[in-house]
Amino acid sequence: MKDTLDLENHVTCKTHGKQIGGIVCNHLLTGHGLGFFEPEPPAPASPQAWCFKCDEVYIEEKGFTKKFEDFSYLRLICIVCYEKVKKRNFLHLI
Ligand SMILES: [Zn+2]
Ligand SMILES: [Zn+2]
């Protein structure tokens, strides 16, 4: 048994078992109502998202720089958790 991420980006979640992985910033992981920004174009392998504050840094830095990485502290979670984080943080601006 290999104990690494496989080519299809599966992760093993403590709650949901083996799932496709998604990546979110550390703020979204614990916060709510922080905004939910997915990069354009979408990441090819697994979905990625970060909060409003991270997006400001991302725009300022024009991409995945060291400063952005340090600020966002992106974490890999399972896709079920990802959807929960999305629901909790997505702002309905209507
Ligand atoms: Zn963030
Ligand atoms: Zn999960």
Query: Can you give the residue ranges of every domain in the chain?
Result: 10-89
Q: Which ligand is nearest to the CA of 51?
A: 1
Higher-confidence position of 42 and 88: 88
Give residue 11 CA to ligand 2 midpoint distance, Å. Answer: 9
* pTM for the predicted model, two decimal places: 0.84
Q: How confident is the model at residue 15 (pLDDT cuts 50, 70, 90)?
A: very high
Give residue 4 CA to ligand 1 midpoint distance, Å. Answer: 26
| pLDDT given at position 94 | 57
| pLDDT given at position 41 | 72
Three-state secondary structure readout of the chain: CCCCCCCCCEEEECCCEEEEEEEECHHHHHCCCCCCECCCCCCCCCCEEECHHHHHHHHHHCCCCHHHHHHHCCEEEEHHHHHHHHHHHCCCCC
Give residue 74 CA to ligand 2 midpoint distance, Å. Answer: 16
Name residues with Cβ closer than 5 Å to ligand 1, which is an ion.
25, 27, 50-51, 54
